[in-house]
């Protein structure tokens, strides 16, 4: 469905180029890739997949859709955050396009944090090659129980100052792309006398530093090609200049990464849902059952209507949160609402599309099964639903300033009851 969202002119222009890139280049290669995967060994698929991504990246550069979020000095298009939303939605339509355009997590968020908080030396050493796609990165924050996860206050990894170095000791897992990363952004406690929100720092740790032990890749639902590594940091020494941002400000810096990253993640998944609907509607127009095409079945028509309606709501919520973030620098509740609603919406839509396409939905000639496996994780990554709902509830229920008139009415009502009882 074509609905006008009043995106910026530049955003619409690059989104149109991105759509053409997907339709003309990426999707045909994706169909070929998906169709051949059953005859290749895992190792062959991995090697061929990397070659395919590099070929698509060359085409993305040629078509001026590569790294739209990065400044021109780093080889990107220099789009503002508001410009990026329709572009990321188009990129999300394919399981290959996000990597081809260099807008996939975790590199996309890590490049943002390096650009925002890195020193010139750090940008030269890590951001520039990361922007070119010459190296890869990981964000190493989540820990096994009872360490930090959805509640970062439980962070157990430490970084102790020793002369001109910091010694990092801790145990992390679910570090996306950790097994392949050349550099890891590690979150660690630097001041145990302070609250974790103001006693935690970020460090740039080259993956080949002595003491960095990749234990394993955690097996997970939806094997999308990205590893999620379990990593032990056993007395890892890094120079003090490897601290990213100010000392003890790590979670504040990380939050500046996570807000925009959650919204761009939402747009990528919205693009996935939109593609799933396109596939389902095409199937419905061709498939007949009990004498009629599926497009004439009222139950399915209502399912598609509901999906389109909720997807419109998700697009609108994300754009509102993005505008708030850009204008005010903070939009915690707006981002939380967008993340929860979009994740649930996309999961429901893709489930509907799989069901609509029947056997073709669970078969892997179409991308729907891959989408289905990937989307469930979205309700956990970038903050589980419950964490965001907690933030929303705190604003709605615990902030008395948000409803002073009703509180005043309730107080007077109670007083009237008391007087009446006497």
The band of 48, judged by pLDDT with boundaries at 50, 70 and 90, is confident
The band of 226, judged by pLDDT with boundaries at 50, 70 and 90, is confident
How confident is the model over 50-67, as pLDDT tens digits? Answer: 899 999 999 999 999 999
Determine if the peptide bond prior to 236 is cis (ω within 30°). Answer: no
Longest Cα separation, the chain: 84
- Predicted pLDDT at 257: 82
CA 274/CA 311 separation, integer angstroms: 8
Q: Which residue has the higher pLDDT, 22 or 1?
A: 22
Mean pLDDT of the chain: 91
- DSSP reduced 3-state for 224: coil
pLDDT at 104 over 50: yes
CA 105/CA 321 separation, integer angstroms: 20
- DSSP reduced 3-state for 179: coil
Predicted TM-score of the model (pTM): 0.90
Mean pLDDT (whole number) for 288-301: 95
**Domains plus CATH for the chain?**
9-104 (1.10.540.10), 137-248 (2.40.110.10), 252-402 (1.20.140.10)
The band of 139, judged by pLDDT with boundaries at 50, 70 and 90, is very high
The band of 417, judged by pLDDT with boundaries at 50, 70 and 90, is low
CA 76/CA 40 separation, integer angstroms: 34
How confident is the model over 247-265, as pLDDT tens digits? Answer: 999 998 888 888 899 999 9
| All residues at 6 or more sequence positions from 106 whose CB lies less than 8 Å from its CB, including other chains | 137, 138, 139, 176, 177
pLDDT at 179 over 80: yes
How confident is the model over 394-407, as pLDDT tens digits? Answer: 999 886 555 666 55
State the Cα torsion 303-305-311-316 to the nearest 10°: -150
φ, ψ of residue 189 to 5 degrees: the values are -75, 130
- DSSP reduced 3-state for 215: strand
φ, ψ of residue 357 to 5 degrees: the values are -85, 0
- Predicted pLDDT at 414: 59
Mean pLDDT (whole number) for 22-51: 76
Lowest pLDDT segment from 27-41, 70-84, 162-176: 27-41
Apex CA 252: angle with CA 247 and CA 254, to 5°? 100
Contact 192, 160 (CB under 8 A): no
pLDDT at 194 over 70: yes
- Predicted pLDDT at 422: 43
- Predicted pLDDT at 31: 87
């Amino acid at each position: 469905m074509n609905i006008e969202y009043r995106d910026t002119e530049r955003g619409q222009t690059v989104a149109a180029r991105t759509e053409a890139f997907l339709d003309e280049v990426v999707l045909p290669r994706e169909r070929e890739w998906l169709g051949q995967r059953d005859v290749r060994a895992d190792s062959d698929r991995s090697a061929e997949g990397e070659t395919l991504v590099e070929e698509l990246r060359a085409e993305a550069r040629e078509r001026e859709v590569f790294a739209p979020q990065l400044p021109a000095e780093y080889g990107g298009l220099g789009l503002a955050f508001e410009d990026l939303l329709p572009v990321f939605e188009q990129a999300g339509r394919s399981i290959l396009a996000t990597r081809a355009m260099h807008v996939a997590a975790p590199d996309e968020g890590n490049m943002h944090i390096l650009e925002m908080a890195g020193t010139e030396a750090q940008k030269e050493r890590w951001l520039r090659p990361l922007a070119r796609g010459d190296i890869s990165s990981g964000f190493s924050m989540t820990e096994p129980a009872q360490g930090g996860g959805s509640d970062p206050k439980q962070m157990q990894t430490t970084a102790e100052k020793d002369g001109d170095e910091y010694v990092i000791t801790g145990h992390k897992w679910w570090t996306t792309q950790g097994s392949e990363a050349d550099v890891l952004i590690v979150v660690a406690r630097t001041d145990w006398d302070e609250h974790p929100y103001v006693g935690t720092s970020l460090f740039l740790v080259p993956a080949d530093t002595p003491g960095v032990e990749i234990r394993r890749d955690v097996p997970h639902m939806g094997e999308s090609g990205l590893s999620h590594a379990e990593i032990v940091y056993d007395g890892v020494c890094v120079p003090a200049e490897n601290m990213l941002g100010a000392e003890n400000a790590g979670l504040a810096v990380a939050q500046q990464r996570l807000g925009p990253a959650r919204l761009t993640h939402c747009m990528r998944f919205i693009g996935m849902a939109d593609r799933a609907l396109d596939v389902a509607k095409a199937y419905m127009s061709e498939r007949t059952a009990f004498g009629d095409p599926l497009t004439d079945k009222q139950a399915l028509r209502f399912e598609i209507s509901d999906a389109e309606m909720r997807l419109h709501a998700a697009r609108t919520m994300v754009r509102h949160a993005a505008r708030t973030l850009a204008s005010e620098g903070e939009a915690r509740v707006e981002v939380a609402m967008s993340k929860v609603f979009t994740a649930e919406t996309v999961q429901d839509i893709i489930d509907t599309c799989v069901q609509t396409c029947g056997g073709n939905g669970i078969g892997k000639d179409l991308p729907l099964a891959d989408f289905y496996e990937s989307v469930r994780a979205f309700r956990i990554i970038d903050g589980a639903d419950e964490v965001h709902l907690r933030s929303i509830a705190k604003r709605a229920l615990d902030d008395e300033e948000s409803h002073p008139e009703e509180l005043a009415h309730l107080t007077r009502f109670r007083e009237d009851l008391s007087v009446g009882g006497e």
